[in-house]
Structure 1
Amino acid sequence: MGKVITLFKLLPKKHQVLLSILSVITMITMLFPSEEAQASRQTAGIVENAQINTRYDVPLAFRTPGRPEGLISEESQPSNLNGAEPMSSAAALASGEAKLDIETRENAQHRDVEHFNVKNGDTLAAVFERAGLSSKDVYQITQLPLAKQNLLKIIPGEEIVISKDINGELTEVRYRLNAASTLVISKENDQYHEKISEKDIEIRSHFVNAKIKSNFWNAAVDAGLNANQIMQLSTVFGWDIDFALDLREGDTFAIVYEQEYAEGEFLRNGNILAAEFINQGERYTAIRYTDGNYYSENGTSMRKAFLRSPVDFKYVSSNFNPKRLHPVTGQVKAHRGVDYVAAIGTPIKAAGSGKVIEAGYNQFNGNYVFIKHNDTYTTKYLHLTKRNVSKGASVKQGQIIGTLGKTGRVTGAHLHYEFIVNGVHRNPRTVTLPKAEAIAQKEKPQFDALSKQLMATISQSKQSELAMQ
């Protein structure tokens, strides 16, 4: 207080006068009763004349948070199950909303929902034990077909959602199978029921355009494609382009493909709908038709009667050469095939459909398979680690017939592949491959309309990207 007086004395005379006047006004104001005090006296008068079992509008000031003492005695309140005080319509509305909130909380108590993350080493029984469920629950649930198929294969990182009622009894189990599907197991009257809950899938089309700078794989990844799409694209054009040897820096590709969404959430990339690949200045196109096959924009099948190469290889160690110097014997001996180098165990695919006419082993060829495709074409596969087919078996194009190895007389792991036309060895890398059938004539009008639409989308999208650069 002394400090306040000292500070007051240091102020200019004019300021001291003004502060003194304000202090006097404040004290006078505090001495007079406020409107709230008057309202209290008025309300007291009402209370004195209040009649039993008669409802009155309670002044707003007294509705919340509580009733002032002496306003209305408990004996004079109308009967109310909730013990609430009489109130106006506005207060009743607020009370109704509060009641809904209470009911919501009560309903929540009837259904306790817990999320359990699957840990390393967890079984379904271990997760249920953490959830406080019984071994009987585990047994009965695992007898359900879908549950047996999925819940017994849970892996770390997945989640199981378990719901119980107010008594702690199991009511529901939810297990997400994938981004769009959830296994739901419910219990009603001691009976378990299961179903797959599916989200609605929305298909959207997406466009990407890329240029090869270092290699095809990196360019495709940078464009946003996943591994499956990259393999799909290389398969579509694999009959025309050797993706290990033919690609060059500056080659480009543009594609339109499907994207799947569920309730606005991106799920995954889908099928390639249309594609354009420019390799060393030559343009190749592909359209996916309703039969699931790919055709060039004019309806020619992208699928040839033979694959250009029957293995996904790293490089060619020895090309087709009629005058090659043999690496083991040192003698000049024709190399009548192509040697593809890859890791031991790499799958070997049948270049075309046909019948296995030879499958065996010798000291020169190691494990080998010969396939006759028709009276014109035969292919041979040498030095396999193992064979997956036997003599006399029928095979389809792309079927795995064995794995790459280094059996027989070789200096390292590779596939020796030969392509024979009318009994004459031809270079597998340069021989003209026969084409499969074009699209059926009755489908041609519908295909042409689809082809024009998709190729126009690619062209317009490329122009838009160019304009934005």
Structure 2
Amino acid sequence: MRKLSYTLLLALAFTACKKEVENKDLGEVEVIEKAPPVLEEYGFVLNDFEVIRDTIRSGDIFGKILDTQGISPGKVYEITEKVRETLDPTRLIVGKPYTVLRSRDSARTAQFFIYENDRIEYTVVSIGDNIAAYKGSKPISIKKKMISGVIVSNLSEAMQNQGLSVLLSHELSSIYQWSIDFWKLQKGDQFKMVYNEKYINDTIYAGIENIEGAVFVHQNRPYYAFSYMVDTESGKSDYYDEEARPLQSFFLKAPLNFSRISSRYSGNRFHPVQKRWKAHRGTDYAAPHGTPIWSTANGTVIASGYTGGNGNYVKVKHNDTYTTQYLHMSKRNVRAGQRVKQGDIIGFVGSTGLATGPHVCYRFWVRGKQVDPFRQNLPAAEPIAEKLKNDYFVAIEPVRTALDEIQFKEI
């Protein structure tokens, strides 16, 4: 009995000591609150603001958005007038994201309006006491990729089979559009390339930066293409083959990505609007309304206007020999006297003037006479200057070595 009591006393003492230690330990525990992570975007520390994110919806206007943030009509007018050259408030596009940063004090005053022009570029409008606007871009990293593929039916499918972007297919076909007819690819044709992808904040895919080099084997013949900067001041690059010959022609084959050719150049065609037979001195490319139209070669815009027959049109003089014209645009994107480069967007597909549906009528002059561009023996692009050729061969050597080390895929 005495032994049992002693044991019980020991147990009680141990328990008491244990509780005392536990209480003592609890008293010595230092509670540390973790600070929230610092969030940075658009050049701001977002933790310093109340952040409101939304998307431009149908019917949204700049003034209406600012009104919901407590900005008075008079202040909205002042902001609009001061920032119009940087951000045109009348051209906010449905579907584009925007962010409003408000102060964290009790007033919760709107300080900044940020509009995302695209996935990378954005415009910041300071709507506080100091009204101003400026453009910015998200941090971009470039990652080099090397791939190869083989044609089973077409190029797009070959890209998709490897989980690659359709944009890469477009880029590759654009490079070789004067060397290879992509409607006549053969099963077993092969390609490989070295290219660069863009990533936002090192993680979010943002498209193709450029293709450094490629080789396309078509009908058992290899076609090499290497990107080379021919003008360091403007940053202009073109593609050349392994012998430094240009891959690009002086003229693009078409002024847009078109659905179909709806009407060709003809000396006698029944006009769908005027309901009579007459010459058709152009090539009609059908495409969805708003499709970008680009200049088929470098030149100067000599006319940008509107007539009842042509609708919105642009005319470009390329040199003393060649002139092109683009009709029925929904909207013109250049003015008379402006210099344009091959591929620059000069307008958008529409159906203005005498047109029954959205298309562009592409007209072509040689020494002042309208002709069918498909029947012309058009000149090639300018070759690399002789003084740059040695530098070209040195510059492409590592890219060619990388290409040669990539194994071709087989069917």
Q: TM-score range, shorter-chain basis?
A: 0.5 to 0.7
Shift of 1:205: 0.5
- How many residue pairs are counted as aligned between the two chains? 371
**Residue 434 of structure 1: aligned partner:** 379
**Residue 48 of structure 1: aligned partner:** none
Shift of 1:257: 1.9
**Residue 286 of structure 1: aligned partner:** 225
Give percent identity, aligned residues only.
23
**Residue 20 of structure 2: aligned partner:** 62
CA 1:35/1:409 → structure 2, altered by over 3 Å: closer, same or farther?
A: closer
**Residue 405 of structure 2: aligned partner:** 460
More helix by share: 1
Q: CA RMSD in A?
A: 6.1
**Residue 12 of structure 2: aligned partner:** 37
SS of alignment partner, residue 61 of structure 1: helix
CA–CA distance in structure 2, aligned partners of residues 172 and 289 of structure 1: 45
Greater alpha carbon shift after TM alignment, 198-207 vs 151-160: 151-160
TM-score normalised by length of structure 2: 0.60
Contact preservation (8 Å) 1:211, 1:251: yes
SS of alignment partner, residue 33 of structure 1: helix
Contact preservation (8 Å) 1:229, 1:271: no
Matched, 1:314 2:259: yes
CA–CA distance in structure 1, aligned partners of residues 396 and 304 of structure 2: 43
CA 1:115/1:237 → structure 2, altered by over 3 Å: closer, same or farther?
A: same
Shift of 1:271: 1.9
Is there any run of 5+ residues in structure 2 with no aligned partner, and where?
37-46, 230-234, 272-278
Contact preservation (8 Å) 1:164, 1:172: no
Matched, 1:296 2:240: yes
Identify which of 157, 174, 183 aligns with 1:235: 174
Is there any run of 5+ residues in structure 1 with no aligned partner, and where?
1-24, 44-58, 66-86, 106-110, 330-334
Contact preservation (8 Å) 1:240, 1:308: no
**Residue 79 of structure 1: aligned partner:** none
CA 1:307/1:170 → structure 2, altered by over 3 Å: closer, same or farther?
A: closer
Shift of 1:398: 3.9
Greater alpha carbon shift after TM alignment, 402-411 vs 258-267: 402-411
CA–CA distance in structure 2, aligned partners of residues 192 and 359 of structure 1: 35
**Residue 65 of structure 2: aligned partner:** 123
Identify which of 328, 348, 361 aligns with 1:385: 328
Shift of 1:285: 2.5
**Residue 286 of structure 2: aligned partner:** 342
Shift of 1:241: 4.0
Contact preservation (8 Å) 1:404, 1:413: yes
**Residue 259 of structure 1: aligned partner:** 197
Structure 2 residue identity aligned to 1:385: H
Contact preservation (8 Å) 1:356, 1:370: yes
Larger radius of gyration: 1
SS of alignment partner, residue 177 of structure 2: coil
More relative contact order, 1 or 2 (CA 8 Å, 6+ apart): 2
CA–CA distance in structure 2, aligned partners of residues 436 and 278 of structure 1: 23
Residue by residue over 1:249-287, the C-alpha shift from the partner in whole angstroms, topping out at 9 and shown as x without a partner, is 554443322123355413412222222334444433322
Shift of 1:436: 2.5
More strand by share: 2
SS of alignment partner, residue 118 of structure 1: strand
Matched, 1:273 2:206: no
CA–CA distance in structure 2, aligned partners of residues 460 and 390 of structure 1: 48
TM-score normalised by length of structure 1: 0.54
CA–CA distance in structure 1, aligned partners of residues 206 and 255 of structure 2: 29
CA–CA distance in structure 1, aligned partners of residues 307 and 121 of structure 2: 52
CA–CA distance in structure 2, aligned partners of residues 169 and 374 of structure 1: 59
CA 1:430/1:293 → structure 2, altered by over 3 Å: closer, same or farther?
A: farther
